[in-house]
Amino acid sequence: MTSNIATARAQRLSRAAGIIGFAIALAASAQVAIPLPGTPVPLTLQPLLVVLAGLFLGPVAGAGSMLLYLVAGAVGLPVFAPMGAPGVLRLLGPTGGYLLAYPAAAWVAGRVGANASRYAVRLAAAAAGMAVLYAGGLAQLAIITGSVQSAVTLGFLQFAALDAVKTVIAAAVTRPSRSA
């Protein structure tokens, strides 16, 4: 009985460490933001970290990690990329749709890739997570610009090839998650 309690406690601590660790890693990756000409969306490694959170932690903990990151940024902690409005205002700007999609993208990647031993399934999971990121980001950009075509030009075309590489990397470095 005591070993069951100790095991459950260790699992909770491990999950909490994963949630906090991915939120911190995401915040660190946001600090290396490369502005691209012609778009308000910077180039970062954040999409890679979002899908990795889902694939490594599972859908619930992965989404929880992304929620922790968003809450930290919304209350004013310097976790978002260094360019753009501070705090909760960032969620209303041109990158806000991507940010708000982080929990859903991590959840989808974690759910599709849950316990996937085959690379192809993990690749599909990472791609599904990336698709959710793009859906959120492009939706908000379309609202801000008033045009789906402008949204695609500003928030997809310059990023698609590198995000495809990030998708391949995420699938390659992960192993089956045991979390739900």
User: With 0-12 CB in 10 A as exposed, 13-18 as middle and 19+ as buried, what is 3?
Assistant: exposed
For tokens 């859908």, name the residue.
59
Q: Looking at the domain assignment, is residue 50 inside a domain?
A: yes
Whole-prediction pTM: 0.92
Q: Looking at the domain assignment, is residue 68 inside a domain?
A: yes
Q: Count structural domains, the chain.
A: 1
**Using the 8-state DSSP alphabet, how is residue 42 labeled?**
P
Q: For the domain that residue 91 is a member of, what is the CATH number? A: 1.10.1760.20
pLDDT at 4: 83
Q: Looking at the domain assignment, is residue 178 inside a domain?
A: no
Alpha helix (H) ranges present in the chain? 2-30, 46-57, 59-74, 96-112, 119-145, 148-155, 160-173
Q: Looking at the domain assignment, is residue 180 inside a domain?
A: no
Tell me the average pLDDT across 112-121: 91
Q: Looking at the domain assignment, is residue 30 inside a domain?
A: yes
Tell me the average pLDDT across 101-125: 95
pLDDT in tens, 126-147: 999 999 999 999 999 999 999 9
Q: Is the pLDDT of residue 78 over 90?
A: yes
H or E element, residue 177 = none
Could you list the residue range(s) of the whole structural domain that residue 24 is in?
2-173
Nearest Cα to 99, choosing from 132, 142, 137, 148?
A: 137
Q: Looking at the domain assignment, is residue 179 inside a domain?
A: no
